[in-house]
Amino acid sequence: MKYDAVLVLGRGVYKDGSIPESAKSTIEKAVELYKNGEAGRVIFSGRWTYSIDYTPPQTEAKAMADYASSLGLPNQAILLEEKSYTTVSNAYFIKKEFLIPNNWRRVVLVSVHPMDKRAHYVLNVVFGSEYVCDLVTCDFVFPPDALKEKEKKEAEKIIIAREFYAHHKINPGDHETIFRITNEDLEKNWRKS
């Protein structure tokens, strides 16, 4: 197998526990990679974002895993990370709970454009150079107006992330420091809003 695991990060979970079409597309691609023998397991990552004002009936990871099961992904191939609430925490908990304990070094992230580049960048910073994290973008396409807005926001977010890591002189792979300072910054800015 080419990879130790396929990674699928949460794309949201609605009040009724269902997931967006963009999430379904990433899950479909992850299941395809598994069925093609690219990896022996899929890690679904996400509790739910810190910015929602409701508590969903299940985590993003569980909702995604349920959908993957309906597509024929066997239970023994499903791993859940259900603590994360940001892209940094997705990467942190995946690394701490699965990559380090199992000595897994090669993963592939399945994402959706335009979130793919920032998510891939963040995972590479958190994982560090000892890990290979490839990127596969699924076929999902947002409607033109939504796509344009999301591309603009994602371009801004990746610039902010790069500046943030440069300002704090982050060493790629220092997941503990990255997680700590990101949470401190998030809490500080969340209190302001």
Rounded average pLDDT over 133-158:
95
The count of structural domains within the chain is 1
Determine what percent of the chain is predicted with pLDDT higher than 70: 97
Give pTM, 2 decimals.
0.94
**Average pLDDT over the chain, rounded to an integer:** 94
User: What band does 186 get if pLDDT is binned at 50, 70 and 90?
Assistant: confident
CATH number at residue 135: 3.40.50.620
Encode 14-39: b = buried (16+ Cβ within 10 Å), e = exposed. eeeebbeebbbbbbbbbbebbeeebb
pLDDT for res 190: 54
Segment 76-134, tens digit of pLDDT:
999 999 999 999 999 999 999 999 999 999 999 999 999 999 999 999 999 999 999 99
Q: Is pLDDT above 60 for 193?
A: no
Q: Please give the order of strands across the beta sheet that includes 106-111.
A: 78-81, 42-45, 5-9, 106-111, 132-137
Rounded average pLDDT over 21-31:
97
The parent domain of residue 58 ranges over: 5-192
